[in-house]
A and B are shown apart, each in its own frame.
Chain A
Amino acid sequence: MEDLTMQEILKDIERELTDPSIIQDNKLPFKYNDEWYRIRMPNQWEEAKAQDEKNTLFGKLIQTEGYYMKKRLKQILKEKQGVDLDALEEEKYKINIRIQDYQLVLAKKYDEEIKTIEEIKQKISDLSARRIEISIEIGKYLSASIDDQIEKAYIQAVAAFCTEKVEIINGKEEWVKVWPNLKAFQDDSSLIINKVLSFTTYLLLNLRAY
């Protein structure tokens, strides 16, 4: 079967991640090209190996010309390109305050005040959309930072170590590793990689963001 397109993959991810099965255990199952795959939480050894990858890359990048930590990259962007990320952060902060102001008004509306409720909800949605736009813009500029690069390396390592697929072995269904090592994962250029990385990010979601 032919590989799916990126858009089909994104649609799949959205559909599969709204299935109740995503919480029943610490594994995220998904289908790719009619085959079942899953990503599970790393065990202690895999976690340590993924951390190793992260630390090794950090040690390498910190000594490499042209790579900077977020703080320094922000300064360079401002000095050399005139991109003021602090100003964008400030705008985000102000949007948050405005959202909270609307929330306090919305919270005190009774169910019967349908029109007003809808109006305030629309204002909050518009502001939230702008906040997301700013976050994406900041994210784009900082994705080249050492901080983001090492985080990506960690996600990639977990994805490589913890993705499994169903195979029939001696007439029995068994979950086996998709890639024997990180190198094999990195060499794989099929679209499954995008799906696996997205699922791994969701699997490792943490509450710090909330």
Chain B
Amino acid sequence: MNIETAIRNLAKSTCYQNLYNSAKDANSIQMFINVTNYSGVQSLFLYWLRIYSSLYEDLANKESVYLTENVINDSLRCDAYLYYRRKKQEIEIKKYHQEKQKSDMKVKDSPNTSVFNVELRGQ
């Protein structure tokens, strides 16, 4: 087992996920003995803690039919799901912007809409 696997296993464990959620809610529970100057290992752990927290949240909210406990427990499937989720989000954002652009154009082209050119001058 390499260090990243070990960190990921700790981060997805019930113990640390509960601690993380309590820390988020109460904004006071300390995760580590040190409060500043985190080591690289600790930063990596915090990164995976957030990632797994978001995955468990997705799972609870049934965000995707493809996300199961087995996916979360398998690093390769988990990475695949994270990549799929990111791509899906990118497509949704792109679609949203395209639709917004379209509706803005409609408003601008509508005959009932007046467009004024306002020139603002300082005194």
List the B residue with the shortest CB-CB distance to A117: B77
User: Is A26 in contact with B34, judged by CB distance below 8 angstroms?
Assistant: yes
- Max chain A Cβ within 10 angstroms of own Cβ: one of B5, B65, B66: B66
Q: Which residues of B contact A103 (CB under 8 A)?
A: 79-80, 83-84
User: Is A106 in contact with B43, judged by CB distance below 8 angstroms?
Assistant: no
Size range of the interface on A? Answer: 20 to 34
List the A residue with the shortest CB-CB distance to B76: A121
Pick from B32, B37, B65: contact of A23, CB under 8 Å: B32
A28 proximal to B (CB < 8 A): yes
Q: Which residues of B contact A18 (CB under 8 A)?
A: 1, 3, 5-6
User: Is A205 in contact with B44, judged by CB distance below 8 angstroms?
Assistant: yes
**In whole angstroms, what is the CA distance A130 to B46 when docked?**
29
B102 proximal to A (CB < 8 A): no
Q: Which residues of A contact B44 (CB under 8 A)?
A: 205, 207, 210
**In whole angstroms, what is the CA distance A112 to B35 when docked?**
44
Chain A nearest Cβ from B9, distance in angstroms: 8
Q: Which residues of A contact B42 (CB under 8 A)?
A: 23, 26
**In whole angstroms, what is the CA distance A17 to B40 when docked?**
13
Q: Is the interface of B mostly helix, strand, loop or mixed?
A: helix
List the B residue with the shortest CB-CB distance to A19: B6
Chain A nearest Cβ from B86, distance in angstroms: 10
Q: A107-B80, A107-B83 are known contacts. Are A207 and B43 too (CB-CB below 8 A)?
A: yes
Size range of the interface on B? Answer: 20 to 34
Interface 0/1 of B90-113, CB less than 8 Å to A:
000000000000000000000000
**In whole angstroms, what is the CA distance A128 to B34 when docked?**
35
Interface 0/1 of B6-34, CB less than 8 Å to A:
11001000000000000000000000111
Pick from A14, A109, A203: contact of B39, CB under 8 Å: A203
List the A residue with the shortest CB-CB distance to B44: A205
A7 proximal to B (CB < 8 A): no
Q: Which residues of B contact A36 (CB under 8 A)?
A: none
A204 proximal to B (CB < 8 A): yes
**In whole angstroms, what is the CA distance A102 to B76 when docked?**
11
B70 proximal to A (CB < 8 A): yes
User: Is A23 in contact with B7, judged by CB distance below 8 angstroms?
Assistant: yes
Q: A23-B42, A204-B40, A207-B44 are known contacts. Are A104 and B76 too (CB-CB below 8 A)?
A: no
Known pairs A22-B41, A106-B76, A207-B47 / 11 extra A-B pairs, C-beta < 8 Å:
A18-B1, A18-B6, A41-B37, A103-B79, A108-B84, A109-B66, A110-B66, A202-B3, A204-B40, A206-B40, A207-B44
5 shortest A-B CB distances, which residue pairs? A205-B40, A107-B84, A18-B6, A103-B80, A25-B33
Q: A residues within 8 Å of B by Cβ?
A: 14, 17-20, 22-28, 41, 100, 102-104, 106-111, 117, 121, 124-125, 202-207, 210
